[in-house]
A and B are shown apart, each in its own frame.
Chain A
Amino acid sequence: ETGVTQSPTHLIKTRGQQVTLRCSSQSGHNTVSWYQQALGQGPQFIFQYYREEENGRGNFPPRFSGLQFPNYSSELNVNALELDDSALYLCASSSGGWRNEQFFGPGTRLTVL
């Protein structure tokens, strides 16, 4: 059984640019959630995708958007990057919508200069 994978591992962007982060869910999981973890903080919920539809969103602006594909992999897109967007972006997968435990990937470290 393959766990949750994310790419790239690290990314450096400049303010105003756009970025796309990718996540492959664990085998058998149809739900993907994205979290932002600032340095020294707990993860903050961005949004969740269930069967290719957005299924809940946290307190993040519209420039954070996502997508889920038929194979349940997912992308997180961030437009007009700001310095405060520098963080570890975590993807978590689960099965059966919101009911089951979420399993996290290793994250993508984004640095915005």
Chain B
Amino acid sequence: QQQVKQSPQSLIVQKGGISIINCAYENTAFDYFPWYQQFPGKGPALLIAIRPDVSEKKEGRFTISFNKSAKQFSLHIMDSQPGDSATYFCAARIQGAQKLVFGQGTRLTINP
């Protein structure tokens, strides 16, 4: 019930294309949904985050779409660049709790 399921496990997109990564959850007590980007040998870096009272949040080329009724949220990367090649994690936090629950990760490769 505290899981966050992420798909796909890996994704290859051509330069300039749109990368889409999806996450689903069961626990309606989650109140904060961040996305992290992780490069090899580095810790995860916060990319963008959304709260469930908002259906979409955009920051530059990165957009989170949030569907509260379906308990799904997704990350869209527009105009994908080779420098975006990394592993992306969705996460969720239970209201009133301290921990983040992470998805399994998506390894994104942008071909030049």
Contact = CB atoms under 8 A, between A and B. Distances in A.
B41 A104 contact: no
A33 B46 CA distance: 15
Nearest to A104: B43
B76 interface: no
Interface stretch (A14-22, A38-46, A61-69, A72-80): A38-46
A98 B101 CA distance: 13
Nearest to B46: A101
Interface residues of B, number: 23
A106 B42 contact: yes
Given A41-B104, A48-B99, A56-B99, A102 B42 contact: no
Contacts of A48: 98-99
Interface of A: 4, 33, 35, 40-45, 48, 50, 55-56, 58, 90, 92, 97-98, 101-107
B43 A106 contact: yes
B93 interface: yes
A90 B100 contact: no
28 contacts: A33-B98, A33-B100, A40-B105, A41-B105, A42-B91, A42-B104, A43-B44, A43-B100, A43-B102, A44-B102, A45-B99, A45-B101, A48-B98, A48-B99, A50-B98, A55-B98, A56-B97, A56-B98, A58-B99, A92-B43, A97-B98, A98-B98, A101-B46, A103-B46, A104-B44, A105-B43, A106-B41, A106-B43
Query: Which of B45, B49, B98 lies at the interface centre, i.e. has the most chain A CB atoms within 10 A of its CB?
Result: B98
